[in-house]
Structure 1
């Protein structure tokens, strides 16, 4: 057995970002893989690959949701899948100047709430192809779908339509 009394941990050229010294606040980054199930919402994400938006409709009272749910929030009855139109209008919008690490390089970006004919609730998505100055309540928009699915809500986005 050999003992090394001069052993050292390897040093790196990178340091630690310090934001405050009292109390000490430092920046630490880490990556994590997260395995999760879409469970009852799986059909919504599979449908995006078929260029379809799926919401849900109450089997009892007929309320149509732009975002799927298993049970009606008004009467508690089960819902069924309901295909949404791919065209709608901007109900409201906001411009995001900050985002998660994934979206930070794309800031600023526009988020819209889309209203569809015959649908009782709104659908939130990104809008591309229009500057903030061009956005208007009531503007016609249509859904577009990414060719290479990531099975995430960002697989669908909207673009302006000609009036």
Structure 2
């Protein structure tokens, strides 16, 4: 059996063996304490980053909403521009039709009417010319009648 001396020796051996392990455990515990503090700091920073990320997500959501609003407005403006383009195309067609009507019909009709007026002007000139000739003839007839009267009167005096 073991004697108390043996127990003391065993106890000394165990103490010598476990003392460095105990010292190492204390060192590990201290390092773990430091690591825990650092982890708590990292957790705080991660939480801060998470909060900032959530803020960024909110801002991106707001920007996306604004972008969708702008897209919607641009879509409305594009629709209005398309309507204006259609209206302008319609006006251009009407103007082209009016232009063709002016060139093909109205201008020709004006030319025909102008030619007709030239004929009327010529006819008027001819009518005036005939009237002038009539007047001259009337004057000549009056003069001849007057001379005939004078001749008759002289003849009656001579005869």
Fold match (TM-score > 0.5): no
Which is higher, the Rg of structure 1 or of structure 2? 2
TM-score by length of 1: 0.17
The structure richer in helix per residue is 2
Give the TM-score, by structure 2 length.
0.17
Structure number having the greater strand percentage: 1
Q: Which has the higher contact order (CA 8 A, sep 6+)?
A: 1
